[in-house]
């Protein structure tokens, strides 16, 4: 009987010696230790042995079983360690690898400038608002003192969806929307896309404006000039000077065009400023009392200023871009020159 036990034991240990897989280990368990396994069969046969033989053979079978179980545990541990090693190797990341060949994304120049402008105005206490790009004729023109057939509409021809719904030509409709919804003091800016039937090197059919509006008691043209000056010094440079020239917008009275000293030549005169030393950057003025009253704000008590400028134009001036269309063609070679 001892010989039979040794043969079974050796056979089993040999099978476990050959780097078995987890499935093969399972088969060995079933084959030798399972319900109908070979070692189990020996235990079942004990009942046929004599009382003297029974404890002896039983002890031998149990010893063999213990050796097989210990071997199985060792082999299973080896399989587990091997799997772990393979997993670690397959998931290895070389954090010292050279990634300089990888391309990094960057904000588009217009988004970059818009973000910068928002930060400057937020620091100055302006609240950022938004308004619809698809606008009604009422908000885009009529509420801004520009009735049907007003000649000022000619300068802002646009894309009409119906006779009374259009793509907004400027961000000024948001002056009205904000004044209708809130009471003074108001201090807001509103960035957004605008649309006009324009198309040349400095005018795009789609472009971006920022509207500014301040309404309170005793707001004057000096406050407008001071605000533009403070903003321009932050955006361009400390030496930037501001100049106001008379102009006309139906929704401001008086109205002004605002010029800044040329950021390229500092006011000496160059190609960018066409030798004048000044760059025209925005339209502005004191909110027309008609517009205030129309929004339910008593023009006898309150006054306000508003301004509107092109983000595209600011970007062109800041980065010396000569053609606005470059910013909408998404040529990576152009974009890389601006954002690196």
> What are the helix (H) ranges across the chain?
2-17, 22-28, 38-44, 53-90, 109-123, 137-140, 173-181, 221-235, 289-294, 311-319, 326-329, 332-339
Q: Tell me how far, at minimum, the Cβ of 302 lies from ligand FA5, in Å.
A: 16
Closest by alpha carbon to 223, among 309, 306, 105? Answer: 306
| Residue with the two structure tokens 């088969």 | 27
Query: Using the rule CB under 6 A, which residue among 158, 172, 174, 294 binds ligand FA5?
Result: 172
Q: Tell me how far, at minimum, the Cβ of 132 lies from ligand FA5, in Å.
A: 16
- How far apart CA 314 and CA 55 sit, in angstroms, is 100
**Binding to ligand FA5 by residue 252, rule CB under 6 A?**
yes
Between 72 and 260, name the residue whose CB sits nearer to ligand FA5: 260
**Binding to ligand FA5 by residue 285, rule CB under 6 A?**
yes
**Binding to ligand FA5 by residue 294, rule CB under 6 A?**
no
Query: Using the rule CB under 6 A, which residue among 242, 283, 297, 327 binds ligand FA5?
Result: 283
- How far apart CA 146 and CA 172 sit, in angstroms, is 12
| CA end-to-end distance (rounded Å), the chain | 85
Would you give the binding string for ligand FA5 spanning residues 180-219, x where CB under 6 A is met?
Answer: ----------------x-x----xx--x-x-x--------
Between 292 and 306, name the residue whose CB sits nearer to ligand FA5: 306
Q: Tell me how far, at minimum, the Cβ of 202 lies from ligand FA5, in Å.
A: 7
The answer to whether the CB of 291 falls within 8 A of the CB of 143 is yes
**Binding to ligand FA5 by residue 139, rule CB under 6 A?**
no
Q: What are phi and psi of 79, to 5 degrees?
A: -60, -45
Between 207 and 302, name the residue whose CB sits nearer to ligand FA5: 207
- How far apart CA 77 and CA 82 sit, in angstroms, is 9
- How far apart CA 167 and CA 132 sit, in angstroms, is 9
Would you give the binding string for ligand FA5 spanning residues 298-317, x where CB under 6 A is met?
Answer: --------xxxxx-xx----
Subset of residues 257 to 276 that bind ligand FA5, contact rule: CB under 6 A:
none
**Binding-site ranges for ligand FA5 (CB under 6 A):** 170, 172, 196, 198, 203-204, 207, 209, 211, 249, 252, 282-285, 306-310, 312-313, 324
């Amino acid at each position: 009987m001892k010989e039979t036990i040794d043969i079974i034991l050796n056979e089993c240990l040999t099978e476990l010696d050959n780097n078995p897989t987890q499935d093969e280990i399972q088969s060995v368990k079933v084959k030798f230790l399972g319900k109908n396994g070979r070692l189990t069969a020996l235990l079942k046969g004990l009942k046929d042995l004599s009382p003297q033989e029974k404890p002896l053979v039983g002890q031998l079978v149990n010893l063999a079983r213990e050796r097989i179980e210990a071997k199985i545990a060792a082999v299973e541990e080896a399989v587990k360690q091997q799997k772990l090693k393979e997993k670690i190797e397959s998931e290895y990341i070389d954090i010292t690898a050279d990634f300089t060949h990888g391309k990094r994304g960057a904000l588009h120049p217009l988004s970059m400038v818009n973000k910068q402008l928002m930060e400057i105005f937020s620091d100055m206490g302006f609240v950022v608002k938004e308004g619809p790009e698809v606008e009604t004729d009422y908000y885009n023109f009529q509420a801004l003192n520009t009735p049907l057939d007003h000649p000022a509409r000619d300068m802002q021809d646009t894309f009409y969806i119906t006779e009374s719904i259009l793509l907004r030509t400027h961000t000024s409709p948001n002056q009205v929307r904000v004044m209708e919804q809130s009471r003074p003091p108001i201090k807001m800016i509103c960035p957004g896309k605008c649309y006009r039937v324009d198309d040349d090197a400095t005018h795009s059919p789609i472009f971006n404006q920022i509207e500014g509006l301040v309404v309170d008691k005793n707001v004057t043209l000096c406050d407008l000039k001071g605000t533009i000056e403070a903003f321009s010094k932050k955006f361009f440079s400390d030496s930037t000077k501001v100049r106001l020239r008379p102009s006309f917008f139906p929704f401001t009275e008086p109205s002004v065009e605002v010029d800044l000293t040329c950021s390229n030549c500092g006011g000496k005169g160059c190609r960018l400023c066409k030798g004048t030393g000044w760059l025209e950057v925005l339209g502005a003025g004191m909110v027309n009392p008609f517009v205030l009253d129309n929004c339910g704000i008593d023009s006898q008590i309150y006054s306000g200023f508003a301004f509107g400028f092109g983000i595209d134009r600011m970007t062109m001036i800041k980065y010396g871009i000569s053609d606005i269309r470059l910013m909408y063609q998404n040529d990576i070679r152009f974009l890389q020159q601006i954002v690196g």
